[in-house]
Structure 1
Amino acid sequence: MADIYAAQLNPGKLEVVTEWVAAQDWAADLDLGSAPLEPVTSYRFDDPAGEVGLEVHIVRSGDRHFQVPLSYRGAPLDGADEHLIATMEHSVLGKRWVYAGMGDPVFRQRLDEAIATAGTSAKQFRVDEDGRRIDEITEVAQAFGTGPLPGARDVEMLHRLSLDSPAEGTEGRLLGRWTGQEAAVVLAVMV
């Protein structure tokens, strides 16, 4: 389960996501000046140790949809400087180091596990300043794995999402749905 605080963030998540997307080769054709990124939804995975926040943002620019996996840590991740996107101040948790999710071993492990075990994204709960759960957040995406793909060696997170292509329930995929997107969308694939 993921606990979500009503916190002030500096810089904000959309600002961090936008800066990262703008620097990616796969986004070179985007004109974020005329069609800035807008948040659509997000989903999370659990870190069993409760130390790393694992969140995937789904955003859009015009009618094109993208996803950006991030990890949030309370200290720098050794050997991962190339994956560091930003540091942010969290009004409850303090300074956070924000990494590209696919460069964080905890994120990759949880993504792999969700696909291989037909697992799901984490339930999310609003919490008060003392960490007490107030209520479940249901207006988020639901991601779910389809089981392992025999012989696969890696997982590829899809940054550009195709909302119109049917997502077959084949093995080795992470699929997702959210309000307004009832047909499952392919989010990640085992390769």
Structure 2
Amino acid sequence: MAVIHHTTLKPTKLELLTDWLPSRPWYRGGPDAPVLTRSGGFRLDDPAGEVGMEFMVVTDTSTPEPSAYMVPLSYRGAPLDGAEHALVGTMEHGVLGRRWVYDGCHDPVLVTELLSLIEGTAEAHSQSVDGALDPEVVRSYTGTPLALDGFTPEPADDPEGTRLTVPLGTVLHVHRVLNPLPENPPLRPEGAIGHVARGWQDPQGATPAAVFVTLRTA
């Protein structure tokens, strides 16, 4: 089980994301730097205990209409081979030392555990409480078991988010910009064979829910 260290980070995660987000094709902000606040999310556990994994929701309030972004991040104690293009930045952790922070869609450990969460063979953990599961995360899956051994993600970003082709001819869509679900939403998005959803806190203090990822047949 991953241990959550409440310690100093230099630079902070929000500082790293302030520089990184405007470089993404799905970023909705203007020419000014984003003004970010943490708005929620959850963690996944690495069975090997080596990689930290967080699905962070941040809200940009620099524009008249705030935008909430879902950013999967992986934290490593050494560089991930071949993933220089996916590096968000490095930071100094008060306990663990230098950490390499990656866009998690490029990290095979994070993507594998995310697919396991969708299947129901992994559990979502609290973002800030050691050892606690996150009961607010909703997931579904109606497909056959996914063969995940040796899977290497090859994500592609576009204005609608990030897409990855995954085993058994399915496509994982990571919804980067969060759109609130209606009241009493369906069990899963139309046409999807799997999904993950959760709530977050908006600038007015409300807690809308949104679909974070969907899995569909190619």
Alpha-carbon separation, structure 1, partners of 2:40 and 2:75 = 18
Match of 2:5 in 1: 5
Conserved in 1, the CA contact under 8 Å of 2:139 and 2:194?
yes
Equivalent residue runs for 1:132-147 within 5 Å: 142-147=136-141
Amino acid at match of 1:108: V
Q: For 1:151-178, what per-residue CA distance to the aligned partner results, in whole angstroms no more than 9, with x for missing partners?
A: 6523121100001445421241011134
Give SS of 1:49's match: coil
Q: How many residues align?
A: 180
Letter of the structure 1 residue corresponding to residue 140 of structure 2: T
In 1, distance between residues paired with 2:8 and 2:25? 31
* Corresponding residue number in structure 2 for 1:188: 213
Distance in structure 2 (CA, Å) of the matches to 1:51 and 1:80: 17
Say which is worse superposed, 113-122 or 84-93, in terms of deviation: 113-122
Q: SS of the counterpart of 2:69?
A: strand
Distance 2:102 2:69 in 1: 17
Q: What is the distance in 1 between the residues matched to 2:198 and 2:169?
A: 21
- Structure 2 partner of 1:94: 97
SS of 2:113 mapped into structure 1: helix
Matched residue SS, 1:87: strand
**Equivalent pair of 2:18/2:33 in contact (CA under 8 Å):** no
Letter in 2 for 1:189: T
Task: Compute the TM-score of the two structures, normalised by the length of structure 2.
Answer: 0.72
Looking at structure 2, the residues matched to 164 and 124 of structure 1 have their Cα atoms a distance apart, in angstroms, of 22
Task: Please state which structure has a larger fraction of its residues in strand.
Answer: 1
Task: Name stretches of at least 5 consecutive residues in structure 2 with no aligned partner.
Answer: 145-167
Q: Partner of 1:5: helix, strand, or coil? A: coil
TM-score relative to the length of structure 1: 0.82
Q: Which amino acid aligns with 1:186?
A: V
Cα distance change, pair 169–8 in 1 and its aligned pair in 2 (3 A): same
| 1:130 aligned partner | none
Q: Which residue of structure 1 lines up, in the alignment, with residue 75 of structure 2?
A: 72
Shift in Å at residue 35 of structure 1?
5.7
- Map 1:15-164; keep pairs closer than 5 Å: 15-27=15-27, 29-31=28-30, 33=32, 36-62=35-61, 63-117=66-120, 119-123=122-126, 142-149=136-143, 153-164=170-181
Q: Is the 8 A contact 1:121 1:144 kept in 2?
A: no
Residue 186 (structure 2) pairs with residue 168 (structure 1): yes
Contact residue 70 and residue 98 of structure 1 kept, 8 A? yes
SS at match of 2:19: helix
